[in-house]
Amino acid sequence: MKLIKFVVVLLSVFIAACASLVLQSADFAWPVESVVKVDNDGNVQEDRYSITFNAKELFLEETEDSLGYKNKDLRLIRDSKGYYFIVANNFKNVYVFTTDDATMKLKNKIEVSDTLKMENPAFNQRPPYIELKYGSNQVNLTCDGIAEEEE
């Protein structure tokens, strides 16, 4: 009888140890955007939020110029779900990334303008949206695209 109780207790402890731990109500948002310089090797480093990545492929995608990253700044912000929104001066698109095993993986490419390049874009945190201002324009973004205007 003691052996059965011991086995039941041991199995209970083992099963409890295998359950995944979930910490809920997490908010990954950055309160303000970060403006970071792209170095000569294409790398970006934001010390405040401990993020580093290479932006060469991003500039190649947007500008079709293999050296398009030279002497450029990137603007990035993170929403409450943990998605990174990235834009730069003269981009037509906002890029939304998620992280995956030491990589930044493209979630969405949001076309903001099909003809005009954005001048002086800037992000603001406006939960549940990321607000993008450029020139005299303003749009609200989610990881899925431009948010529809609420009436």
> Would you say residue 13 lies in a domain?
no
User: What's the pTM?
Assistant: 0.85
**The predicted structure's pLDDT at residue 138:** 96
> Would you say residue 68 lies in a domain?
yes
Contact 55, 74 (CB under 8 A): yes
> Would you say residue 3 lies in a domain?
no
> Would you say residue 18 lies in a domain?
no
> Would you say residue 58 lies in a domain?
yes
> Would you say residue 17 lies in a domain?
no
Residue 142: both structure tokens together: 């989610």
**The predicted structure's pLDDT at residue 10:** 62
Q: Tokens 């003809």 — which residue? A: 115
Give, in order, the Cα–Cα distances in Å from 146 to each of 16, 35, 126, 141. Answer: 43, 22, 13, 5
> Would you say residue 4 lies in a domain?
no
The yes-or-no verdict on residue 151 having pLDDT over 60 is no
Amino acid at 8: V
| Choice among 7-11, 24-28, 34-38, 103-107 with the minimum mean pLDDT | 7-11
Q: Pick from 112, 130, 142, 146: which is nearest to 30 by CA? A: 130
Q: Tokens 């050296």 — which residue? A: 67
Q: Which domain holds residue 76?
A: 27-146
Domain total of the chain: 1
> Would you say residue 134 lies in a domain?
yes
